[in-house]
Amino acid sequence: MVTDCDVCIIGSGAGAGPVVYTLANLGKKVIVLEKGGWFTEKDFYKDEIAVCRRDTFTPPLEKEPHVIEDIDSDGKWVAESNAINRRNFWNGNMVGGSSNLMSGFFHRMKPVDFRLKSEFGAVEGANVVDWPVGYDDLERYYVLTEALVGISGKVVSHPFLEPRSTNDFPFSPLAEHAISKYIDKASESLGYNIIPTPRAIISRPVRNRLACSYSGYCGSYGCSTGAKGSSRALLDLAVKSNNCEIRPNSRAYKIETDSSGKIQFVKYFNQAGKTIKINAKIYVIACQAVETSRILLLSSGAKFPNGLANNSGQVGKNLLFSAGGIGSGIFTSDQFSREEFSNLRDIHLFVNRALQDWYVIDDPKLGPQMKGGTIDFLMAHANPIRRAQKVKRKEGKLLWGRELKERLKEEFTNKIRLNFEIFCDWMPNNDCFVELSKSIKDKDGIPVAKIRVGYHPHDLIPGKYLAEKAENVMRKMNTKEIRSSISGSPPANLMAGGCRFGNNPEESVLDKNCRAHEVENLFVTDGSFMPTGGSVPYTWTIYANSFRVANVIASEV
């Protein structure tokens, strides 16, 4: 049979880039279908209104909503279109996906993360399982990601340092904010093992990418120098091989199978709205968790009446976010000399400090050992509108005129906010999943994803414990107005699961190599494969696993 390509890949983010790069450089013919546009460094401007307050890089919710189902104060599940509630679960709609917009906090998962059930036992009401692969299966691909995607940092010894086959990162640490030394001093005086945070941002030029320019705007923004390790760092190299064709503004909406259950072709709309078919030997889906589940559920057929690869009923189930929360403290100008405070107000440098001393919590007050997590320290986002919004009210009253001006002046000239973020395992459970909406369709008349966002009460326990430790550091630094928020509300920028991998086809969608149990020529390589997420941001592990699976695919085409 004549095919259009060896491999067709739907999506182009962190789960796609390593597959595209590996196959193209091995001489395989690859076509990438990307729903969004193809932006380059010159398109990534630092405009808060365009990028953060409007839908520049994500679909407008009026045209492409999701339905969010949450539990109300009466304990009932209530579903509402996010075109109404504005809870946006789109994370980036462009070549490179949401990896263009990430902050680049890169921690490896640790051996214990792959054995969550074996190490800590079952959790009632949670669907915790061990991974079908271990840390050792991914370690060399973590190293490959460091070199090709580009990770800067410094490896230091600490109690929960994961095993490494290399002594350090290939890129030296980024320039550090003056506040980092205060965090170091406070943490060390408390007996905590403060560590540098690895970042997927290069500190020196490499392969036509420029080093970080220290604009102070990373999270939510594309990188105008190419320093950030988005998937485009790999896609650009793949295109240069002449074996990869990226088709932007190409929305895949249906995957067709033959009578045996093997994929025949994928249908997509091009920019003009015309339907086109792609025929390949192997297909890879990497659309991020919600949309990957959605396209599988939309792709029903004679052998798969409930959606492609879904005779087990597991597609869309066990959706993951990241448990934990956020916190902050404020420094004021009267705590420092004029020169010191001036240095601390610099928004352009990186804090890059983390704590993993409680990656496993062994505290009798909480009972048996339990999985803990990671604390990352960072400056409050530089966005001025967002910052101003936080002070426009006082005691519930909207401020105007002189009172508002004085409060804004105080905020921008006399205060510095230091934040912390906490990452813990999100317990997979039966109330966190993706299905198709029965009533709401998008602009093309296709059912949208309905996302139930229930969390497990266990998620709050390690989160609150870690928040206390982070607040200890804040108090030691004499910050004011210390506060934290640990809740079950899902952070929409950290999602995985929905197509978990495993050895039992009745309880998982994919095998250990991320091939669909029921479809021999289908792989899923975004974060959907993850049965549990670990206590770190997911992106580095998604990259590493995608490199691993790329080798499997390469051996078959």
Q: Report residue 398 as tokens.
A: 């909207």
Residue 347: per-residue pLDDT: 85
CA dist., res. 314 & res. 318, Å (int): 8
| Averaged pLDDT for residues 376-380 | 95
170-181 per-position pLDDT tens digit: 999 999 999 999
| Averaged pLDDT for residues 530-545 | 97
CA dist., res. 320 & res. 293, Å (int): 12
| Averaged pLDDT for residues 113-135 | 97
Query: What secondary structure does DSSP assign to 62-123, as a single string?
Result: TTS--EEEEE-TTS-EEEEEHHHH--------BTTGGGGT---B-----GGGGGHHHHH---
The pTM of this model reads: 0.97
425-476 per-position pLDDT tens digit: 999 999 999 999 999 999 999 999 999 999 999 999 999 999 999 999 999 9
CA dist., res. 339 & res. 78, Å (int): 53
| Averaged pLDDT for residues 518-533 | 97
37-94 per-position pLDDT tens digit: 999 999 998 899 988 888 889 999 999 999 999 999 888 999 999 999 888 999 989 9
**Class at the top of the CATH hierarchy for domain 1-69+83-152+214-321+493-557:** alpha beta
The CA–CA distances, whole Å, from 518 to 335, 357, 510 equal: 63, 42, 8
Contact 45, 260 (CB under 8 A): no
CA dist., res. 504 & res. 542, Å (int): 22
CA dist., res. 33 & res. 43, Å (int): 20
In 258-333, DSSP assigns E strands to: 263-269, 275-278, 280-285, 317-320, 323-332
One-letter amino acid of 262? K
CA dist., res. 422 & res. 189, Å (int): 21
221-248 per-position pLDDT tens digit: 999 999 999 999 999 999 999 999 999 9
Residue 53: per-residue pLDDT: 84
Dihedral pair phi/psi, residue 433, rounded to 5°: -160, 170
User: Residue 233: enclosing H or E segment and its boundaries?
Assistant: helix 232-240
Taking 70 as the threshold, does the pLDDT of residue 496 lie above it? yes
Query: Could you tell me if residue 441 is left (phi over 0), alpha (psi between -120 and 50 degrees) or otherwise beta?
Result: beta
Cβ atoms < 10 Å from Cβ of 491: 16
One-letter amino acid of 425? D
- Mean pLDDT value across the chain: 95
263-296 per-position pLDDT tens digit: 999 999 999 999 999 999 999 999 999 999 999 9
Residue 2: per-residue pLDDT: 61
pLDDT band at 396 (very low <50, low <70, confident <90, very high): confident
Taking 70 as the threshold, does the pLDDT of residue 210 lie above it? yes
